[in-house]
Structure 1
Amino acid sequence: MDEYFLQFLWKFQKFESKELILSNGSSLTVFQTGHQNHHSGPDFLEAKIKIDDLTWSGSVEIHYKSSDWNRHKHQTDRAYENVILHVVWINDGDILVNEEPLPTLEMSQYVATNLEQEYRRYINQPEVIRCGPKLGDIPQIQISAMIDRAVASRLQEKSVRVLDTLEQLGGDWEETVYQTLARNFGFKTNAEAFLKLASSLPYHVIRKHAGKEQQIYALIFGMAGFLEDPVDEYQASLSAEFSYLAKKFQLHRMLDRHHWKHAKMRPANFPSVRLSQFAAFLTQENQLLANLLNISGRKEAVGFLQKSLPDYWNSHFDFGKPTTKSPRIGTKSIENIIINSLAPVLGAYSKYLDEVIYLERAQHILEQLPPESNHVIQKWIDRGVTPGNGAETQGLIYQYQSFCTPKKCLRCNIGMFILNPPK
């Protein structure tokens, strides 16, 4: 029996119509169940009940067994001092608060068996998107509301990661933007290697060489471990430049070439190509935060990220390995960086300043992107939910990962609509 179901029973008072009696024999009348708390602390806040002839206002805590109170260490948490009622499925012993028994309702005595069975059948379906077969019967306004909330939550989730990085870097926004972008330039395969590169090569060193292509490429490829044993004149010139700069700035390389993953990659995704694209970006952008904050639409975001490559990297996918196709960063890659770096930074900055304008701008940019295509989105499409833009695909990914997969149907308005249909 999961606590989501128990909270659902309490919230909507899914009890048989008979008098509620507490474990100590007192009668219970519920005036207000309280508003559900999705953060730390009691499950419902500001409830109002009457026990016998005395009216109480305070918090309600829900558990499967009453002994879970002590198992969760609520007895030592002051956040639970205002609990006026303990609602459990099984009462396996009194809980003492300030040496007095905590009023306890054993709800299993008041819930119809078929209600529990119906919930179990629904939640234990093999289908991950459990509402899938019924989505065609759900009003569009409910589906739109689900997506809108999920879009906001997805952006907030990614923004929190940016703020965590900001805190770790002592409030340095330029370094935070630099490291956030670096990680994303590595995409999934080489994200950690790119982050290690950025962590070992501070952005203030890069900024000292703003606009100086040779120096920035030498720093990026040198710190990435790509300048050992040069195979051509260009690589040798970068290697010599890096030797000088590494000594000047006392840089300590943390990466070697073997740390970068190449397996099963097309040349366009090779780490050498991504490093050249990142170096081109850093050569031509020297005020990351200010320029990012001025982005208000997709076109500006693409212009911010898509930089021209030097002649060598227009004709090579690695040192000494020529190509006839320029490895310029592609549209899909840019959209990925917008989704995973630019929009989250705007969202984080909005939260940092408590200014909604940057959050609105982030969402507007996402809405201008085409919908993403992946196996999660295809599952939604197969069930009749077709996203219209990048913001909506981000929302559907969040919904799938945060609600569908962990079976949190009773935290989702669609699941609630199905399991607690309007009368």
Structure 2
Amino acid sequence: MTITQPDLSVFETVESEVRSYCRGWPTIFDRAQGAHMYDEDGHTYLDFFAGAGTLNYGHNNPVLKRALIDYLERDGVVHGLDMSTGAKRAFLETFRDVILQPRGMDHKVMFPGPTGTNAVEAALKLARKVKGRESIVSFTNAFHGMSLGSLAVTGNAFKRAGAGIPLVHGTPMPFDDYLDGATPDFVWFERLLEDQGSGLNKPAAVIVETVQGEGGINVARASWLRALSELCKRHDMLLIVDDIQMGCGRTGAFFSFEEAGIQPDIITLSKSIGGYGMPLALTLFRPELDVWEPGEHNGTFRGNNPAFVTATAALQTYWADGQMEKQTLSRGEQVESVLKAIADEHPGDVAEFRGRGLVWGLEFHDKNRAGAVARRAFELGLLIETSGPQSEVVKLLPSLTITPEELDEGLRILARAVRETD
């Protein structure tokens, strides 16, 4: 694909230097549909990024778009704070009936604000309020958001440094297999909890991602998650699962922790819960934890009614019959087989491939190789990003509604990009 260098002057002169994704994809996108994006020059790109996991149902999904247009055309409430609206009622009823009750969950639903970090901040704040303790345990290579509380439980040194102040009240522990099997799971964590001389303040909660997306597609074993859940129960700590990127079906089941057979005390959701890319975030928690006073935690955009509309349509369309999970797992097998072939073709270059459902990572020994592959993929018409502490992992995050043919096309481009960056 020949890409004409676009006029980016207004972005470079007016917009902040903090912009990032646009640097890796130097074009001006104009429209998008399904698994594809199109730039102003008419080039087509297969999207294996999906809004960093926000577009599980693809760009401008026609079913969700119709629901949104109908709502707006009848002058449905757009901004409602936390007032009761018909759109919110429909979402809560659908979420209860389609997601919570079939899974034996009675968690309360809180709308903390429109983003994932809002959901995490509310979760941390609630855990501390319930337990009367300050400390939160997180894990190596975790990512939970960019506001100060979320940064305090995030592992990435570059992102933490941006805070400009000490990030306190968070304690990191080794994620699953972080020590390459050198010690049994949680032996260090439990010893610190039991030893009165360890210096560890008893935590209010533990926060974990079942698959660390930004951390490099690190997949926790179901047995490790179950052991963590039991550890939290033994030591009177709340278990928070951050399902912001891996929830809403990304790993197969609606919640990424379902495979492990656990039920967290608190769950955070955002990104694809809105369905259409509309900002929406939820903090879910067991009913006995609902100790908030009215207005004790609020936010101007915590009641995004257009997002309620598209979220409800997504749940009704894709989660009422159980087919989405089966489709995602099938597509995941398709990805896994191609990544294995790439690894077999480049045994000296590929360190590992790993993932679940439709989130996968391809790690290279050369830490700069993943970036080179992503750049070449863009030139060939595929949008992929990198992740990991040194951006050493190519991250695949296609929409769940992608067709087998589209998935195969993108994987062929990826294989070519790896081949052409040898």
TM-score range (shorter-chain normalised) is under 0.3
Instruction: Give the structure, 1 or 2, with the largest relative contact order (CA under 8 Å, sep 6 or more).
Output: 2
Greater fraction of residues in strand: 2
Greater fraction of residues in helix: 1
